[in-house]
Amino acid sequence: MKRRNAIILSVVWLLVMVSIAASTVTLLASGGIGARGKEREMLKRYERLESVRRVLSEGYYEEVDDEALMTGAIRGMMAALDDPYTFYYTPEELASHDEQTEGVYEGLGFLIQNNADGYIEILRVYAGGPADAAGAKVGDRIVTVDGAPVSGASARTLNDAVERMRGAAGTAVALTVLRGGERIELNIARGDVSVSQVESAMLPGEIGYIEIFQFGGDDVSGFESALDRLESQGARGLVIDLRNNPGGRLDDVVAIADRLLGECTVVYTQARDGSRADYYSDADCCALPLAVLINGMSASASEILAAAVQDLDRGTIVGERSYGKGIVQTLISFEEDGAGMQYTSAQYFTPSGRNIHGVGVTPDVIVKSDYVNYSGEPDVQSDEQLRSAMAAVRARLE
C-alpha cells in the first residue's frame, strides 16, 4: 500500500489569554499593529472575551471556576461552526476516547443504542467481558441502572444512562433489563474490556463472511487473519458486513481496501486550500467475488470502502443507502495538559470523484429490512439482506 501527496495544511487557534497578551506585546514592539488590521481586530475580540470572564469572575453571585469558563469558551467557539464532528476534549475525555479507539478500556463490555421504541437496547456483548460474564444478551433492553429508571427516548437520556453506568474498574453496577417479557436483574462488575472489531464465519456454499464493527483497534490485523483463514478453508466468495459500522480511522480502511481492490486509488481528500491527498492500494489483492452489506448506520470509513468497491466494480453493494458522511476529521492533543480537539479538515472523494456527504452510497441491490440479529452470529435463515448478498456473490461466481 502506498500513500502519496499526503500533506494537509492545518491551522489551529488555541484560546489562551496569556498567549493573547504575548501576541499584543510582540505586535506593539514590532510596530506592525497598525499595518496588520486583521490581527488587531482579532485581539479586540479576545479582549472582549477577557472582559466577560473578568466580570463573571468578580461579580457573579457565586464563586466561578475560571477553568470551566475557559473550557466553555473554547467549546462555544467550536460549536459556532455548527459542525457535529468538531469539538473539544478535556484531558479525561481524550484519554477515554483513546482507550476506546485502541479497543481496550475499563467498563461493562457492551454496545448500546436507543431503539425506535424509546428503550436502551444492547446491540453487542463483547466476548469475555464483564457483561458477558454476568449474562447480558444482545437484545436486552436496559430499564434501570442502580435502581434509577433510564430511557432511550433521546440522545440526552441515553447519555445520562451511559454516565450512570460508567465507573472505576472493580466497582459494580446493578442493571434491570427486559428480555422478552421478563425482567432480569444483572449485577456487573466493571473491569477491563478488550474489543475485537472483526468476526468471521464460513456460510453455506463456501462463501466467507467477515463483519467489521468499527475501523480502529484490531480491525486491520483481525480482517487480515479472517481473510487468510477463510481462503485457507476454501472460500469461493466473500461477504463483508459493514452494517451499523460508524467508521473510524482513514488509514485502517485504506489498509483493508488494499487487500481487496488491486492497484487503484481507494479515496482522496481535499482541504480548503485545494491541497489533495491520494490514498492508494497496490496490485496484490484477494480475487474472491465480493459483496458488501451497508445500511443507514454505515458511515464515514464504511462508506469509503463501499464506494470504492462500487466505483471499481470490484463487488456488489447490498442493503440500504448509507449515512452520508463525506468529510474527514483531524485530532490533535495539547501536550501541556493532555486535552485535545477534533475538527473537520477536509472532504473525501471516491475513486470516480464522488463526494457522498449528505447523500450516502446507494446500493446496487436495495434490500430494506428491520431485522435485528440477536444471536451475534450470521443468520442466513432470517437475515434477508445477508441472503441477498450471498446471492450477489453467487451471481458473480457464475
C-alpha–C-alpha distance, residues 114 and 244, integer Å: 13
Kindly report the backbone phi and psi dihedral angles of residue 110, in degrees, each rounded to the nearest multiple of 5, phi listed first.
Answer: -145, 165
- Identify the active-site residue in 252, 311, 322, 388: 311
Long-range CB contact pairs, 329-336, < 8 A, 24+: 329/85, 329/86, 330/8, 330/10, 332/10, 332/12, 333/94, 334/14
C-alpha–C-alpha distance, residues 392 and 398, integer Å: 10
C-alpha–C-alpha distance, residues 259 and 215, integer Å: 15
- Known active-site residue 38: no
- Identify the active-site residue in 200, 281, 298, 300: 300
Residue 254: HSE in the Cβ half-sphere, 13 Å Cα cutoff = 23
- Identify the active-site residue in 140, 322, 325, 388: 325
- Known active-site residue 311: yes
Helices 250-258 & 219-232 angle (0-180, nearest 10): 20
328: which strand partners? Answer: 346
C-alpha–C-alpha distance, residues 90 and 95, integer Å: 9
Looking at the annotation, which residues are catalytic? 300, 311, 325
